[in-house]
Amino acid sequence: MESIAKGLFAGTIETEGLVPYPKLTDEERETVAFLLDAFRKFAKENINAEKIDAEHTIGDDIIKGLGEMGILGMTIPEAYGGFGFTPSQYGRVMEEMTRFCASTAILVGAHQSIGYKGIVLAGTEEQKQQWLPPLATGERLAAFALTEPEAGSDASAVKTVARYDAERRGYVLNGTKQWITNGGIAHTITTIAKTGESALTTFIVDTAAPGFSIGKTERKMGLKGSSTTQLIFEDLFVPEANLLGRKGRGFLLFMKVLDTGRMGLAASCLGGCKEMIKQAYEFAGRRKQFGTVVGEYEMVRHKFARMAAYTYAAESMVYLSTGLVSGGFDDYAAESCLCKFFVTEVLWNVINDALQCAGGNGYMEEYPFERYLRDARINLIFEGTNEITRMYAAHMGLRHAQKAVRGGAARGDLAWAPDGLRDECAELLALVRKFGEHNRALHERYGTGLNDREYHLERVADIAAGLYAAVATLSRTVEEIKQRPEALTYGRAFLHFELPRLRDLLESDFTAADTLKTAVSDHLYSKGGYPFDRWEI
């Protein structure tokens, strides 16, 4: 199976995996429904998001309850005590958790989507037997430690060093990690360190080992209930048995872990979108201004239409992606990156619109909007900033486009799309093919120098994400309208919002705008900040 996301860069629509739209089996759906029912009951009785936010902590009773339900082991194979959930099943549960409390959801996500994911992906049988069962029950919690004071998304800048000790048959780690989610409560850390000039290796660290300590605990804008700390390794001994994956191949493993983490994060964001739409409607549907219900005003209707249409599209692209992975597709880095930056920004925009619909109430702590806004802002930064994920996606896609040029002409059509979307499909297909031509022209013009043309790469990534969301929306709508015909309206609405934006990105000449971006930023940098003050004239 070819990557659908990468194919778009070459002007191609890959239909394998796209048609039919992936869905859960009856057994998978029943298992998820059972767990969701249990979680909702538990959350209503035990999870108070406002209290967690105010007290900056998630109680041990909540963590224990999540463990007993099996939520902390959702993605661990059944052989090691987990549920063995597919990415689609996992994403659906994470959606629901975010609706109740983002801090709790991020604890769970950091624990399994990235924390112990490396053990699931690359652990030996002995490692899986040792580490996974207690992680599945919550007896132990996990964290993922990559970021350092001088190394964020740039993993090659890692300074933590692992020196081999032949006498003790293990490695001695020295270094500092920062901004580690679950850092203050985790018992098991998967981390990365240099084992050579440029070689990076992954290790499993037991936090009870001598030489491990917790540094600064961060005070954050949002996700206040989650633990975010600095981790310090001082002559920390890690036995050979705790080396995870192959020596010197840690970077590739961590990138794979981040791919799964980005997809899980995108799924979590959907819950926030849905809850914010619900909360906004409760205000706009009953509150009156100038004798008219707020929701009846067309500028407010515009906001609700945009929130709903983009949430529908974001949901479509997330579950297309997780469905592909659930079906065995392994080359999903591009899909993961596109989902990450597109969906996190959809959530941010939905919260902004929802808060506006609530008016002054939306700004008050008494209502959930301001907490959702604070909690959501970090999504655009962690798991690789949205700038980094744009660049990563653009580089991958453009490399694929070059290979496709050598392999033959672009292909694909939308003959499978519903009749009610024929005009939109024709425009979408034209944009996909034009995108392939656009990318080939960029290569011809800049060659390898294109890697440094970030104004172009940013637009390329944005176009790819919009096109991917569009084809995912079409694929999902074909199936959806069989049971809910109104889905056609949501699909059309998204395409009417998004396709003109993509057309502008593809057809407009940004030469002058790009030149001005550089000129203004150059001048601002030379002055150390905004250089004008009206009152100095």
Could you give the residue numbers annotated as active site?
Answer: 383
Evaluated on CA atoms 309, 310, 313, 314, the torsion sign reads: negative
d(CA 511, CA 520): 14
**Is 263 within 8 Å of 87 (Cβ atoms)?**
yes
Closest CA to 80 of 122, 120, 32: 120
What residue has token string 């961060």?
Answer: 218
Torsion of CA 39, 41, 45, 46, to 10 degrees: -10
Three-state DSSP class for residue 142: strand
Give the Cα-Cα-Cα angle 467, 471, 474 (nearest 5 degrees).
140
Q: What's the number of CA atoms in the CB half-sphere (13 Å) around residue 73?
A: 26
d(CA 463, CA 467): 6
Closest CA to 97 of 69, 57, 61, 128: 69
Closest CA to 191 of 135, 257, 98: 257
What residue has token string 């890690």?
Answer: 238
Helix axes 333-358, 454-480, angle to 10 degrees: 80
Extract the tokens encoding 89: 């099943």
Three-state DSSP class for residue 59: coil
Extract the tokens encoding 213: 């300590």
d(CA 8, CA 436): 7
d(CA 433, CA 13): 9
Burial of 221 from C-beta contacts in 10 A (0-12 / 13-18 / 19+)? exposed
The Cα-based distances of 422 to 5, 34, 466 in angstroms read: 22, 39, 18
d(CA 332, CA 260): 9
Burial of 165 from C-beta contacts in 10 A (0-12 / 13-18 / 19+)? middle
d(CA 343, CA 317): 9
Kindly report whether the peptide bond that precedes residue 368 is cis, defined as omega within 30 degrees of 0.
no
Three-state DSSP class for residue 358: helix
Rg (CA), the chain: 24
**Is 428 within 8 Å of 471 (Cβ atoms)?**
yes
Evaluated on CA atoms 264, 270, 275, 276, the torsion sign reads: positive
